[in-house]
Every structure is written in structure tokens, then in C-alpha cells.
Structure 1
């Protein structure tokens, strides 16, 4: 950064860590708690800085009021010849090229595209742009809910691995009232065994490391249910450590499907969109 960015320059961008051809947010987050192992983490999993915009140009010149097309030109000149670790995010006004990005780059963990006006100024604290996420429609098994079985707030989802174990894979956004009412008639508590013991594949509460909710990093209390209901969901590309990092969108129950019709849990490095129906 010191070698290629003049003092006083202010850039807008994002740190990215790559692992086996995909972005890996967990490896980036690991640096926060690495302590004395921070330098080793940085060496083993180096970060790249992908720049989006320039706010202050060389010489300390503020360019917030300049249109995006001019700021983009300044950014390209500023970082001309910089190494791959200091990259400029691609930009295009060609819709066919953008469609190609949404189709092919999702395998690398790219979540979508950001849409900005070429004549827009940079407005700190305001969102003068729109985000278009690439999503896919797929299925998962409901293994638990927050709230109650009769009034579920969110659904906790899972999939079988190749050994037949139901593994936790993610959580939905809050359910709409019609969805809650429909699920309330389908869900049931776990059935006890012959010895009257209730066996569920997940611990209660759900470990904080499983739920991945960074704004609330504590174990998640939930209600276990018999894992017999299949849900149709919409997911994005943020799939790491066999879980969807972002909350997923619940669409509907798939009463026509058995839990054994649900795709098996993905392995590390597999494309989360492979074989799914893509959606907007």
C-alpha cells in the first residue's frame, strides 16, 4: 500500500481472502481473534484489497463531488501498475457482460453486483446505489425453529451428509405471518425413542459458532422439531464451512418431497449454485 498509494489518498474498498479459488470470509474474520498468531495467519492466507472508489486523490484533493465516471478514471490512473494484491473492482455498462459475471463468478463466491449512476457523487453515510444479489432456489430440512412450534419466528435448516447425519446449514429470515401459520400445522416435536428419550442431531442451545450471527455472538436458544418437513429456500453465494453465512429466504414447504430428496450437504469448495435454479 505504501509503495503504490500516495500519502493522503482515501480509498473505498474491501478486503478479500481467497482459498481454493473462492473468497473465504471466515479466514478474514479469524484475524480479529488471532492474537499472537496474526502474522502467521496473514502469511498463510494473505488478504487482497479490492478498491471500489477514490474519495481523496493524490495531493489531498477531495473528489467526493466529482461524478463516478471521473472518480473511476482517477482511480485507474492512481493504481496503474499496482500488484494483484491491490486490485480495482471491474466495472461495466454492458448488461451482457454483467449477466456473464452473475453467471460465472458466483462459483468464486461473488455475491452479486452493485449498480451506480455514472454521474453520481460520493455521499458518505448515504446509499446512493443498489445491490443485486445472485440467488439460487434449493431445498433444506427444517430441524428447529426460534419462537415456538405453534408460532415459529425463524426456521433452522439442515441437510444430510454422506454418512446420513443431519448437519446444521443455516437459518431463515423472520417468517411472514402466513408462513408461520402454515408451518405451525406441519411441525411437530421430536418423537421419543422406545426408551422415551428424545434424540435430536443438534445441541440445544445452538453453539454461537454455528449460527454465525456476528451481531449476537452467543448460543442460540431454539425449539427442536422432528426433521420431516422440507423447505424451499433461496440462498446466495456466501456458503462457507458447509453453512450459508447469510440468512436465507424461506419460500414454502415442499410437501411433495421426502427429506431424502433434498441434496446432500455440499463439500468445501463446491459451487453452492451448482445444479440449482438461479433467481434474482
Structure 2
């Protein structure tokens, strides 16, 4: 079952809310002879999480089917990059599981012990069965917090976002059944409004499609930090009138000097599912734009695309917050 994005957390006496952890959604099938972990896209994740499969085998009876989020904590915060390392660790996987153990934060039960399918039961009853099932489970298997108290939800969004790295909240009807593939839940992502410098665009300077963003670090280097969603027609026209190609004085040996490679490596642009380098047009990094972004910010980059709000001709690139680290200069913004 999936969640549809919303602009505000729904308030309704029949709705409960859960923190949205930044991890990998996974369904766990406790089979007679082991455990099978499946990603939202249907990928087999079993081999990458031996610590989680061991915990499930020890605590969950055969036949049960669980739904939840695989996460890895580092210094008290979720770290999405540590999940990705599981896939590429190779022979170092067992060492990685010891040093950075995963947790499986569970929020639903699709089949109870013995294989009893309970999709049609209301969420409140599925939740009660899930809690009973996990009563004696190890700490790596835990039930996600759940509340109908909007004050507590506000506390999660204000404090947990910074402290633990949650992305927002997911809201669900207590009386709702589990409908695979349907967006019957709601998700609200915590957003910030901030500024960034324009270092390039896809499309052309006169008709930009998306914007490549950057921030300066303490050494004065413009670092790539992310990419916007496609611009609207009005936004294209606004930005096109402000962009300039690289100035001739930046040429060295006949080549234009720019702080980023062209094309942009797929690992930079986040196109890991389609790992082709991104062609773009380099521009003079003098224009500042205002953006809306979520809190998935790792390795000095926004992991998800951000939303372009407007150009800021009144702001200098030297007034854009410095790129100090993954938390500094980002989570302090409003």
C-alpha cells in the first residue's frame, strides 16, 4: 500500500500518524525455511540484510508477512548512504553489518502467524496483532510510533527531523484495510525554504528546463548540491533573462573552466536507476534562486529533486549559506 503526497497533515479523529523514516521500504516474508525481504520495486534484498533476516527468524513465526522500513542509524540519525553501501559492500558485508547494524521499523502486518491473511482487517486490529507479534522481538525489530495527537506530530516535525532524520509523517485511517498498490495513505514531507546558486541548466540558457544548484564551501569552491524539478513556462522566462554563459576570462588553454564536470556524472545527479551522465549547459554562477527542499540531504547534496520558487536578484551568491556539512548550514534554515 502506498501514500499520496499532501501539503498538510490531515486532521481527523479517525486518522493516526506515524513518522516517515528515511530508509528502504521492504516487505518481509517469514517462510518455513527462512526469510525473504522484498523492496517496494520487487527487488530481492535478502542477501544484503543478514542481521535483519536473523532477527526475524529468531522472533517471528512462519507464515507472517511484515511491512516496514529498513534503516541504518549513525550517531543517532538515519543514514541512507549506509543502506546503499550494503549493496556494494561485497565481501565486506558482514563487517558492515557489525559496524552499522540495520533496524526494521515495522508499521503493518499483512499475514499473521500461520499465514492467516489479514489485509481486510482495519488498521487498528492489524496494528494490535503486530504489537503482540513483536512483544519479545529484539531491538532491531520495532513497531513505529503512532499517534492521533497533533501536538506530538508537530513535535516530530520540529524536533525529530533534526534529531533523527525523519522525512515527515504518514497518515492513515484507523478503520482502513490494506490495499496493495493503492495510494490510500497520505505522506507529508518536511520542507525548508532556502537559497542556492545556479551553476548550470538542462535545456538551454534561453529556455532552461531544470536548474543545477550549488553552494560554496569554506574554501570558496562551488559544490554541486542538487537539481530542480522541471520549471514552468513563467519560471523559464524569469530565469532565462538572468543567466549568462561563462565569462571569457575563465578560459585556460582554450577550455572554459567550470567547477563541475560536463556531462555531470550519474552519481552526482542521483540517476542511479538510469546511470547515464547528465548533459547540461554551464553558466556563470552569479544567479541566486529560492527553492523548497525536503530534509533528505546527504554528502552535501539534496537526494531528491527540489522545487524552484523564484529568482532572487536581491541576493548575492556570497549571501547564500555556506556548505559547512550535512547538518550545519542546512537544518538551521527555515
Structure 2 length normalisation: TM-score?
0.80
Aligned mate of 2:307, from 243, 249, 261: 249
* 1:231 counterpart residue number: 289
User: Does structure 2 retain, via aligned residues, the 8 Å contact 1:69–1:119?
Assistant: yes
Q: How far apart, in 1, do the equivalents of 2:329 and 2:114 lie?
A: 44
* 1:114 counterpart residue number: 170
User: Does structure 1 retain, via aligned residues, the 8 Å contact 2:71–2:104?
Assistant: yes
Aligned mate of 1:58, from 99, 113, 117: 113
* 2:214 counterpart residue number: 158
* 1:185 counterpart residue number: 241
Q: Does 1:78 align with 2:133?
A: yes
Structure 1 unaligned residues grouped into runs of 5+: none
Q: Does 1:10 align with 2:68?
A: no
State the secondary structure of the residue aligned to 2:111: strand
Q: How far apart, in 2, do the equivalents of 1:266 and 1:28 lie?
A: 24
Q: CA deviation at 1:271?
A: 7.5
State the secondary structure of the residue aligned to 2:273: coil
Q: Does 1:142 align with 2:198?
A: yes
Q: How far apart, in 2, do the equivalents of 1:250 and 1:268 lie?
A: 21
Q: CA deviation at 1:194?
A: 6.8
Q: How far apart, in 1, do the equivalents of 2:276 and 2:196 lie?
A: 24
State the secondary structure of the residue aligned to 2:58: coil
Q: How far apart, in 1, do the equivalents of 2:121 and 2:328 lie?
A: 42
* 2:319 counterpart residue number: 261
Q: How far apart, in 1, do the equivalents of 2:299 and 2:234 lie?
A: 32
Q: Deviations over 1:157-199 (max 9, x none)?
A: 0000001100000111111111011111111111121766421
Aligned mate of 1:125, from 178, 181, 184: 181
Q: CA RMSD in A?
A: 1.4
Structure 2 unaligned residues grouped into runs of 5+: 1-55
Q: Which runs of 4+ in 1 moved over 6 A?
A: none
User: Does structure 1 retain, via aligned residues, the 8 Å contact 2:323–2:329?
Assistant: no
